[in-house]
Amino acid sequence: MLQEHIRNIAIIAHVDHGKTTLVDKLLRATDAFRDNQHVEDRVLDSNDQERERGITILSKNISIEYKGVKINVIDTPGHADFGGEVERVLKMADSALLLVDAAEGPMPQTRFVLRHAIDAGLAIMVVVNKIDREGAHPEEALNACLDLMMDLGATDEQLEFSMEHVVYASAVNGFARRNLEDTTTTMYPLLDMVVDELPAPHGDPDASLGMQIVTIDHSAYVGRIGIGRVYSGTIHTQDKILVVKNDGSRAMSQVKQLFTFDYLGRKECTEVAAGDIAAVVGVDATDIGDVYTDPTNPVEIDPIEIDPPTLAVVFEPSTSPLVGRDGDIVGGRQLKARLEQERENNVTMRIEELPDKTGVEVAGRGILHLSVLMETMRREGYEFQVGRPRVLFKKDEQGNKLEPIEQAVVEAPSEYSGKVIEVFGDAGGIMTHMDSASTHTQLEFKIPTRGIMGLKNRVLNVTHGEAIFYHTFLEYGPFAGDIGSRQNGTMISMTTEKAVAYALGTLQERGQLFVEPGTECYEGMLVGERSRPGDMVVNIARTKSLGNQRSATADIAVQLTPPRTFSLEEALEYIMDDELVEVTPKNIRLRKRILNATDRKKWAVRSGLVNK
């Protein structure tokens, strides 16, 4: 039974192809805001980090109304590190708007999200965005999308549907057109196609209840809130329901409150029928994949499967001499409690305490996925330290070691393509495709996740900052053997003092500095990178010896090159196994795991890394 008054659509795209901007314009076109209401651009990117990074991290549910039809819109992340969000929320949709940049065409993460949409059997409508951008080739972008769908195994019905349902748009300028010759200046052609031609959800409101939870929200007042789609039947407040977990266990519960999505907010209601998306309050410890059903006539729904994590990092309480200077929360017990809270709310991460209780291991889908959690915690006032990310290996049925393999794409000026290939070769990458244009070359590689770490900076260095670099998890493949790591050594502070310009002036001749005059440093902290292999212990507080004679150049100030600064992702990719990243609300510092130089030498001898 079709529910013609509802449409459930997901918007999928590569990072920065305009998903969130498009949703902004759809909201405005359906009068979601008052005429005098001030609304931020990219209104769905409500998280501070989403606004700063310009990416969608968490999927969002909203609804708009057009021609009497309720359209539930699901804004999905475009970055593969947040693929756990994509996989789940697509189960709520019947169709997807595939948004693609008219100049760039499909990109690596377009492949990632589109593969999940095709596997879910969604009807896919292609929206070619940014058609007014310089260098736009809308028809080529459309053909590339259709080719990509064929490569990903789309059915004949899906391909035929996508060929017939195409919209050309400029989300930033607020217009969508059925063909390139139109001069329409509104978003209504896109809304008309959604309402008139995209499939309505199936579901019988009078059947037995079947609802599956795909997202968990949390409230300090009511606890966990399960969000999902009602596939059959109708759910009411005060209903007694059977909760079936992913592992098959069952428990009874009662619905205390019900909400549906209403534009940017939620509206409390007494019932939600098949085909719609609802938020349910009252089911204790509800989790992703839970099925809510009728106790007397249970409905079976396939469990939700999520791709496993590929990287793990250990969070430890900070042991820095400067601990407590920046943050309010520094204890191991508070750190463990915060990560346990994250485990409750974030199903895409695996969070487990180490057997020796010295730290908590957090496994995620990539460096960005892990760094977003770290950035959130440092903004909450936590101080902690983390080690080098560890790749998670698997074994196949024959016992062979497998490791995560990524697909990487680099677009760079053609004169640098040879250097890019060389850099990837050193990191274990294998080139799979090369496409040369007049001035730029697009290179595709298969490369182990181990090789990706730290690679972005090397690619930017050899291309003089002109490369565009994307990568996404592809598959688990055979172990690639040893991969070259950081070649250059580091400069390590020998004392706990503030850095002095005179000392830094002599050190910058040996390599690249990480600190500037006045920076608080401590023994064992990394203050720079050498221009050759091997670590070097340095005195960052050395001052000039003063005599009773003056020279003509005595008062000339030391000329220092600006220091290299690290983002969290860059710091995690840079460090080696014997190093840590110290994270505080105000600083990101690199340090040795063992701070004292003598103790480091003893450890190296015991470990067999150096001779006695």
Give the tens place of pLDDT for each residue, 284-339: 878 778 899 999 998 888 887 666 788 899 999 999 999 988 888 888 899 999 99
CATH superfamily for 210-293 is: Translation factors (2.40.30.10)
Q: Which architecture does CATH list for 394-478?
A: 2-Layer Sandwich (3.30)
Q: CA-CA distances (angstroms) from residue 379 to 49, 306, 329, 375?
A: 10, 29, 11, 6
pLDDT given for residue 431 in this prediction = 92
Domains in the chain: boundaries: 6-197, 210-293, 394-478, 489-545+555-607
Query: pLDDT exceeding 90 applies to what percent of the chain?
Result: 27
Q: How many other C-beta atoms lie within 10 A of the C-beta of residue 400?
A: 10
> Which comes out higher in pLDDT, residue 606 or 49?
606
Say what the pTM is: 0.70
From CA 508, how far away is CA 504, in angstroms rounded? 6
Q: Which residues contact 151 (CB under 8 A, 6 or more apart)?
A: none
Give the mean model confidence (pLDDT) for residues 173-188. 88
State residue 136 phi and psi, 5-degree precision: -75, 140
Q: What is the DSSP letter of 202?
A: B
Measured distance CA(293)–CA(240) in Å, rounded: 9
Length, in residues, of the chain: 612
Res 215 pLDDT > 90: no
Q: Is the pLDDT of residue 177 over 50?
A: yes
Kindly indicate the confidence band of residue 43, based on its pLDDT and cuts at 50, 70 and 90: very low
CATH superfamily, domain 489-545+555-607, is bipa protein (2.40.50.250)
DSSP string, 519-560: -B--TTBEEEEESSSS-EEE-TT--PPP-S---TTTTPPP--
**What share of the chain in percent tops pLDDT 70?**
87
Architecture, CATH, for domain 6-197: 3-Layer(aba) Sandwich (3.40)
* Rg (the chain; Cα; Å): 27
What is the Cα–Cα distance from 178 to 184, expressed in whole angstroms?
9
Cα separation, 290 vs 214, whole angstroms? 8
Residue located via tokens 């795909």 = 214
Mean pLDDT on 439-446: 86
Task: State the pLDDT at residue 108.
Answer: 64
* Predicted local confidence at residue 160, as pLDDT: 93
Q: What is the pLDDT of residue 321?
A: 92
Q: Write out the binding residues.
A: 16-21, 129-132
Query: Helix/strand/coil (H, E, C) string of 304-370?
Result: CCCCCCCEEEEEEECCCCCCCCCCCECCHHHHHHHHHHHHHHCCCCEEEECCCCCCEEEEECCHHHH
The tokens 């990219």 sit on which residue? 42
Residues annotated within a binding site for GTP? 16-21, 129-132
List, for residues 495-540, the tens digit of each pLDDT value.
999 999 989 998 999 999 999 999 999 999 999 999 899 899 999 9
Structure-token pair, residue 2: 């079709």
